[in-house]
Amino acid sequence: MFITFEGIDGSGKSTQARLLAEHLRAKGHEVVLTREPGGSPGAEEIRRLVLEGDPDRWSAETEILLFTAARRDHLERVIEPALAAGRIVISDRFADSTRMYQGLSRGDLRATVDTLHALMIGREPDLTYVIDMDPELGLARARGRQGSEERFEDFGAELQRKMRAGFLSLAAEFAGRCRVIDGTRAPEKVAADVAAIADRALA
């Protein structure tokens, strides 16, 4: 079972991915918790290139290549071996993030993203949580972490608003695997919904 968390910056994906991993491990499952961009040593090197520096450091087209290169390494070295060994893989972001951030943020490049995805990745999650959140609140939470990985946060609130709308329509487009979760509530309330959905999917 391959599970992903998607949503705007600061929506609580990392928190919920960790809580779901704890929940499933407590029930006896073997879980690999991972993230994108990154998740393998090579992909973590690419992560630094894409998340640090000026917002205009890379064009959207170059980013599609960089994120897809990172994903391919992550898929080959971490995700596919774990799934083949019967483990549950939980990834904090995956290809839907490229569909949104590179596909929508600076013009309509969704078809390019999908073509490269089909060519180089060709795998979709079994279950995707789309954590929905007010964009201003998400940005405030994300900025509260105060790291150096702020390249996308520096695109500002307008990008976050566009991404929120994009993720909601993506959830409708892939209704078979996507579940929209209200992320504005307390973490343990959100986690209870997330766990119930995973338990049903695994039953």
Q: In the chain, what are the helix, strand and coil shares in percent, each to the nearest 5?
A: 60, 15, 30
Token couple for 13: 């994906």
Kindly tell me which of 12 and 125 has the beta carbon lying closer to ligand ADP.
12
Whole-angstrom CA distances from 46 to 43, 52, 74, 90, 114 are: 5, 10, 11, 20, 20
- Which of ligand ADP, ligand TYD, none lies near 135, with the C-beta cut-off 5 to 8 A by kind? none
* Total number of residues that touch ligand ADP (CB under 6 A): 15
Measured from the CB atom, is 10 or 183 closer to ligand TYD?
A: 10
Query: Least distance in Å: CB of 143 to ligand ADP?
Result: 9
Please say which residue, 122 or 144, places its beta carbon nearer to ligand ADP: 144
Q: Which residues of 150-170 are buried (b: 16+ CB within 10 A; e: fewer)?
A: bbbbebeeebbbbbbebbeeb
Q: How far, in Å, CA of 29 to CA of 155, rounded?
A: 39
Q: Is 19 in the site for ligand ADP (CB under 6 A)?
A: no
- Contacted by 186, from ligand ADP, ligand TYD, none: CB < 5 to 8 Å by type: ligand ADP
Task: Return d(Cα 200, Cα 164) in angstroms, integer.
Answer: 26
Pick what 67 binds: ligand ADP, ligand TYD, none; C-beta below 5 to 8 Å, kind-dependent.
ligand TYD
Q: How far is the CB of 70 from ligand ADP (least distance, A)?
A: 17
Listing DSSP states for 186-200 in one string gives: -HHHHHHHHHHHHHH
Q: Do the bridges between strand 178-182 and strand 31-35 make them parallel or antiparallel, or are there none, so unpaired?
A: unpaired
Binding mask 168-187 for ligand ADP (x = CB under 6 A): ------------------xx
Does 143 engage in binding with ligand ADP (CB under 6 A)?
A: no
Residues found near ligand ADP in the complex (CB under 6 A) = 7, 9-15, 141-142, 144-145, 186-187, 190
